[in-house]
Structure 1
């Protein structure tokens, strides 16, 4: 299982939120590149980055930081936040991003997802962010009214191979992932699933690994010291 330590960017700073609520934003590290290099030193091969400015408004502000990490950290960058057109994907590709995550636009424009998959294949992932099982968009501030399982199935039908699932209620709370919803998602789709939100310990990483998931994103638990990243990477297995 791939372990993806996370960097969320807002106004060029490394920050974290609680349950995706922007009024809870707080800085957790000084420098994105330095943080990414620490991830690499612990054995990580991938990094999950989110441009929160882009996720909320569609206007990305943190391209320089993403490019620096892609070019100088030695990590493969998975990027989400504000990727809503093919031009956005082209810009991310030019920055050196390995995997591009489509979030809100997957709800509003499934034809865009289809075109993205046709062009970039498995370099495209769809981020499914849900509260109480309902998909949220626009930086988790708007409700789509869509059931997360039905939406995941519709994405699989148009060719998506990788899904990143976040249960918003667990994000940044250090209470453990949403086990039941992850298991339901596994039963619903055959896509590779990356779990996001709630990881609170190395035991959580081991349990996600034992579920057979493709990947797990680690955010707040790394910054608080609740997860030993080097141990997590070692126990998760091959990072390919």
Structure 2
């Protein structure tokens, strides 16, 4: 006879033991089926829906903020690669941004529905006039946090994809150095394979600390992580000045 105490539930499976299985429908690729199955079984997807966030990605910036304290009331924030808007939602609530006094501005080439307290632009950040547009939207004020969740669509060629994401990080970091107030912070999505040494060297000259984090809501089987740079230093006039200060 089975020992119900040993089984823990009298022989019944707990809710976490049940998993939704999705059959491959006609015309649906296997990869799409696996993605749908993963979404249906992802607790962060359910939490995002329940708490009114536009994506599970909202929890990544929330979890990072719990430890790193990025957001302070009254802080100004720029969100690069903002769609669908989860990070901007979190930022707006945390810094007290309102439609009357917007402190958060986001940009993405994808469509986004309006977010209270956030100025949103549908535009590719890599376009030459994009940085000036963001700066103008915040009235020319310096920024306390630049956050980037940007990523190119993958090609399937690992080396190419790595170079493309590093390029995005570089232009995001360059923008951050142009607009951050002293003490400000920069956070950007990266992928395993390493951040280029030149980029890290540059960030270390401009920030007090740099490190990588992988928040709990980032899927364990995902190669993504986040590069964090904190304590922005006043921008030196040239590279020689920056090296002498170090």
Quickly name the TM-score band, shorter chain normalised. Answer: 0.3 to 0.5
TM-score in terms of structure 2 length: 0.37
Structure number with greater Rg is 2
